[in-house]
């Protein structure tokens, strides 16, 4: 029989020690296992189940329940608006809803009870079984369901655990959302696989990080920049073993300030929903501002020029970054065409990121191929998806969305719209209600006309220049 995915949860030496703490509630390994088994008892036999993925213990118990039963977990952002939630539920084919049910959801379901107990035993599913279907944005259209197998989850966690010397002696702290790879796969399943207790602060606020007393901290760059803006909280992290940044580029000034305030250079690591975590600096290696390090164990990378040749590893030639290895997803659910677009014929995943590699194998991510893929606060947001939502507003005739450089969020969504004097605040709320709150434009600029080229295509660069 295959080795359990969440190995350490089954073999914890002290089953009574808190293994997962979220806010002021905690579960030991024993409690988590039996509460999750009670969920597995209810859902066994389903293909996919939706989870109302709030930052709470119920989300952890529900996800572990799915993994025990071999049912694909579909984390649904708790702030997902009606369009987005409907799309996720329909596309994923989720058969049940775990959590509190909004009135527009017709699926059967139940509330997860973290005090429920079951001692049923489930055989470990094959590594190829889907573990999660995570919805993520493309440049256009609705979010796509990324199918991650148990093998990919295991490989993604094991690679960084080796690079960071992450062990059960660590206490992991973060407050990231539990519906993406960073917070859920690395930040929850990672802790459960390694067996290091997790303290989740519900929100990634600097004072909560400071008060948590962990040895290993995860954050997106926005979180680290806010930590630096609160020097007392930053200094409180001086005793931690590792501060890890990922999901978006960590600005060099933030890297340097964090190093000065905490006495520790942060670890940077690079990942994607489709590939889990693939490149990182190491606990025992160089940490270079602006560079994300080396492929983790089991991961292969290559950077290719437009004509397809691998570029020189000279630390300056740019190439399109591709990834190979066990951490790769199985494809986009119900979307063979999109899957074929992002996979090379020889089985590598085209990340859409532009990178350079130096002679020592260190990687630097310099940007995205497409201006329509935006990263704001570490969230991936497709310009096309926001434009579609804007066009559904009755006062808007045309819309174009750009990601403008922003000191706090990395990129800030600015929407240019043409229409009958729409009210900016109301338009922002309209998008927040249709998609997810974090996909809302931070600014609306009403213009007479959008700049277009001879083909009629919007000139996004002109909008970016204008917004800057
Ligand atoms: C604001 N709010 C609104 C609103 N405007 N609600 C409704 N309508 C509106 N118009 C509310 C929000 O819901 C929220 O409420 C509060 O106001 C603040 O929202 P915000 O301003 O959007 O939050 P912000 O401070 O900007 O968030 C920053 C952040 C967040 C860093 C905390 O961006 C974040 O959590 N980022 C993490 C993203 C992440 O995990 N990415 C990983 C992807 S995986 P309330 O009640 O909620 O406070 C990946 C792979 C890899 O990338 O490599 O890791
Ligand atoms: P997501 O699918 O939300 O996981 O977003 C993946 C994208 O985030 C990648 O394609 C990169 O563009 C970006 N990203 C993740 N980690 C880093 C990092 N450490 N540095 C730069 N960009 C990153």
Whether residue 274 contacts residue 329, with contact meaning beta carbons closer than 8 Å, is answered with yes
In a domain, 438, yes or no: yes
pTM: 0.97
Q: 425 C-alpha vs ligand 1 centroid, how far in Å?
A: 18
Q: Which is the closest atom of ligand 2 to the Cα of 373?
A: 12
Among residues 203, 224, 248, the one where a domain terminates is 203
Whether residue 288 contacts residue 259, with contact meaning beta carbons closer than 8 Å, is answered with no
Nearest ligand to residue 378 Cα? 1
Alpha helices per DSSP H over 199-307: 206-212, 221-228, 231-235, 252-262
Please choose, from the candidates 26, 68, 27, 22, the residue with its C-alpha nearest in 3D space to the C-alpha of residue 49: 68
380 lines ligand 2 (CB under 6 A): yes
Whether residue 283 contacts residue 299, with contact meaning beta carbons closer than 8 Å, is answered with no
Q: What stretches in the chain show pLDDT beneath 70?
A: none
pLDDT of residue 75: 98
Residues 358 and 458 both lie in one domain: no
Q: 247 C-alpha vs ligand 2 centroid, how far in Å?
A: 4
- Whole-number Å distance between alpha carbons of 224 and 232: 13
The tokens for 115 are 């005090």
- Quote the radius of gyration of the chain (alpha carbons, Å): 22
> pLDDT digit string (tens) for 373-397?
999 999 999 999 999 999 999 999 9
Q: What is the CATH number of the domain that holds 40?
A: 3.40.50.12780
Enter the DSSP assignment of 185.
Answer: I
Residue 453 phi, psi dihedral angles, 5° rounding: -90, -175
pLDDT of residue 355: 98
DSSP class per residue in 290-337: T--BEEPTTEEEEEE-TTSPBPP-SSS--EEEEEEETT----BTT-HH
Q: Using N-to-C axis directions, what is the helix angle for 82-92 and 424-434, rounded to 10°?
A: 20
Residues in the chain: 468
CB atoms < 10 A from the CB of 309, how many? Answer: 10
Residues 363 and 342 both lie in one domain: yes
Q: What is the CATH number of the domain that holds 299?
A: 2.30.38.10
Task: Count Cβ atoms within 10 A of the Cβ of residue 345 and give its class: 0-12 exposed, 13-18 middle, 19 or more buried.
Answer: exposed
Residues 360 and 454 both lie in one domain: no
182 lines ligand 1 (CB under 6 A): yes
Whether residue 263 contacts residue 238, with contact meaning beta carbons closer than 8 Å, is answered with yes
181 lines ligand 1 (CB under 6 A): yes
Q: 270 C-alpha vs ligand 2 centroid, how far in Å?
A: 6
Whether residue 85 contacts residue 57, with contact meaning beta carbons closer than 8 Å, is answered with no
Residues 451 and 302 both lie in one domain: no
In a domain, 103, yes or no: yes
Residues 11 and 124 both lie in one domain: yes
Residues 92 and 182 both lie in one domain: yes
The protein residue with its alpha carbon nearest to ligand 2, atom 23, reads 248
Q: 271 C-alpha vs ligand 2 centroid, how far in Å?
A: 5
Whether residue 303 contacts residue 323, with contact meaning beta carbons closer than 8 Å, is answered with no
The protein residue with its alpha carbon nearest to ligand 1, atom 25, reads 377
437 lines ligand 1 (CB under 6 A): yes
Mutate to test the pocket of ligand 2, among 177, 218, 271, 295 (most ligand atoms within 8 A of CB): 271
Residues 194 and 329 both lie in one domain: no
Q: 7 C-alpha vs ligand 1 centroid, how far in Å?
A: 32
The protein residue with its alpha carbon nearest to ligand 2, atom 15, reads 247
3-state SS assignment for residue 385: helix
CB atoms < 10 A from the CB of 151, how many? Answer: 19
Residues 360 and 414 both lie in one domain: no
In a domain, 347, yes or no: yes
- Strand partners for 405: 411
The tokens for 323 are 């990834």
Nearest ligand to residue 353 Cα? 2
The protein residue with its alpha carbon nearest to ligand 2, atom 5, reads 272
Q: Using N-to-C axis directions, what is the helix angle for 221-228 and 252-262, rounded to 10°?
A: 50
Number of separate domains in the chain: 3
Q: What is the CATH number of the domain that holds 455?
A: 3.30.300.30
Enter the DSSP assignment of 264.
Answer: S
Residues 6+ apart with CB under 8 A from 371: 383, 402, 403, 460, 461, 464
Residues 63 and 193 both lie in one domain: yes
Q: 378 C-alpha vs ligand 2 centroid, how far in Å?
A: 8
Residues 402 and 348 both lie in one domain: no
- Whole-number Å distance between alpha carbons of 22 and 198: 8
Domain that holds residue 444: 373-467
Residues 378 and 313 both lie in one domain: no
In a domain, 250, yes or no: no
Helices (H) and strands (E) in the chain, counts: 14, 24
Q: 79 C-alpha vs ligand 1 centroid, how far in Å?
A: 9
Among residues 177, 203, 229, the one where a domain terminates is 203
The protein residue with its alpha carbon nearest to ligand 1, atom 12, reads 437
pLDDT of residue 181: 98
In a domain, 67, yes or no: yes
In a domain, 91, yes or no: yes
Please choose, from the candidates 161, 158, 188, 173, the residue with its C-alpha nearest in 3D space to the C-alpha of residue 239: 173
In a domain, 114, yes or no: yes
Among residues 368, 383, 404, the one where a domain terminates is 368
Q: How many CA atoms lie within 13 A of 31 on its CB side?
A: 16
53 lines ligand 1 (CB under 6 A): no
The protein residue with its alpha carbon nearest to ligand 2, atom 3, reads 380
Q: 370 C-alpha vs ligand 1 centroid, how far in Å?
A: 23
Q: Which secondary-structure segment (H or E) carries 390?
A: helix 383-391
Enter the DSSP assignment of 439.
Answer: G
Residues 380 and 331 both lie in one domain: no
- Whole-number Å distance between alpha carbons of 212 and 200: 9
Q: 414 C-alpha vs ligand 1 centroid, how far in Å?
A: 16
The tokens for 46 are 């389903």
In a domain, 258, yes or no: no
Whether residue 32 contacts residue 18, with contact meaning beta carbons closer than 8 Å, is answered with no
Whether residue 393 contacts residue 81, with contact meaning beta carbons closer than 8 Å, is answered with no
Q: Which is the closest atom of ligand 2 to the Cα of 352?
A: 10
């Amino acid at each position: 029989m295959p080795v359990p995915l969440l190995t350490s949860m089954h073999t914890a030496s002290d089953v009574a020690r808190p293994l997962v703490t979220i806010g002021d509630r905690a579960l030991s390994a024993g409690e988590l296992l039996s509460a999750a088994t009670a969920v597995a008892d209810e859902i066994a036999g389903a293909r996919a189940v939706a989870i109302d993925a709030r930052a709470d213990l119920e989300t952890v118990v529900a996800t572990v329940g799915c993994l025990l039963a071999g049912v694909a977990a579909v984390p649904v952002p708790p702030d997902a608006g009606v369009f987005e939630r409907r799309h996720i539920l329909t596309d994923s084919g989720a058969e049940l809803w775990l959590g509190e049910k909004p009135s527009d959801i017709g699926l059967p379901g139940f509330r997860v009870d973290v005090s429920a107990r079951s001692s049923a035993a489930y055989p470990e599913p094959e590594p190829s079984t889907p573990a999660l279907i995570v919805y993520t944005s493309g440049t256009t259209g609705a979010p796509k369901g990324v199918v991650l197998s148990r093998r990919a989850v295991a490989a993604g966690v094991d690679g960084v655990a080796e690079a960071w010397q992450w062990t059960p002696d660590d206490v992991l702290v973060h407050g990231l959302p539990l519906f993406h790879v960073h917070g859920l796969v690395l930040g929850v399943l990672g802790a459960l696989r390694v067996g290091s207790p997790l303290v989740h602060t519900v929100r990634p606020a600097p004072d909560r990080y400071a008060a948590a007393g962990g040895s290993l901290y995860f954050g997106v760059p926005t979180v680290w920049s806010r930590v630096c803006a609160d020097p007392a909280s930053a200094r409180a992290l001086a005793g931690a073993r590792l501060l890890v940044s990922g999901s978006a580029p960590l600005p060099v000034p933030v890297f340097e300030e964090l190093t000065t305030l905490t006495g520790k250079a942060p670890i940077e690591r690079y990942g994607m929903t489709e590939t889990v975590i693939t490149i990182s600096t190491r606990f025992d290696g160089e940490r270079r501002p602006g560079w994300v390090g080396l492929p983790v164990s089991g991961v292969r990378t290559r950077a290719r020029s437009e004509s397809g040749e691998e570029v020189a590893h000279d630390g300056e030639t740019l190439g399109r970054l591709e990834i190979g290895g066990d951490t790769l997803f199985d494809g986009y659910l119900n979307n063979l065409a999109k899957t074929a677009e992002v996979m090379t014929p020889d089985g590598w995943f085209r990340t859409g990121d532009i990178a350079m590699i130096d002679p020592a194998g260190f990687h630097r991510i310099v940007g995205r191929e497409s201006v329509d893929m935006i990263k704001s606060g570490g969230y991936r947001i497709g310009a096309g998806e926001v434009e579609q939502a804007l066009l559904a507003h009755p006062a808007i005739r045309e819309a174009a969305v750009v990601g403008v450089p922003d000191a706090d969020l990395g990129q800030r969504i600015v929407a240019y719209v043409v229409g009958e004097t729409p009210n900016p605040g109301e338009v922002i709320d309209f998008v927040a209600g249709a998609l997810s709150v974090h996909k809302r434009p931070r600014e609306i600029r009403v213009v007479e006309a959008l700049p277009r080229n001879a083909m009629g295509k919007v000139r996004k660069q002109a909008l970016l220049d204008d917004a800057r």
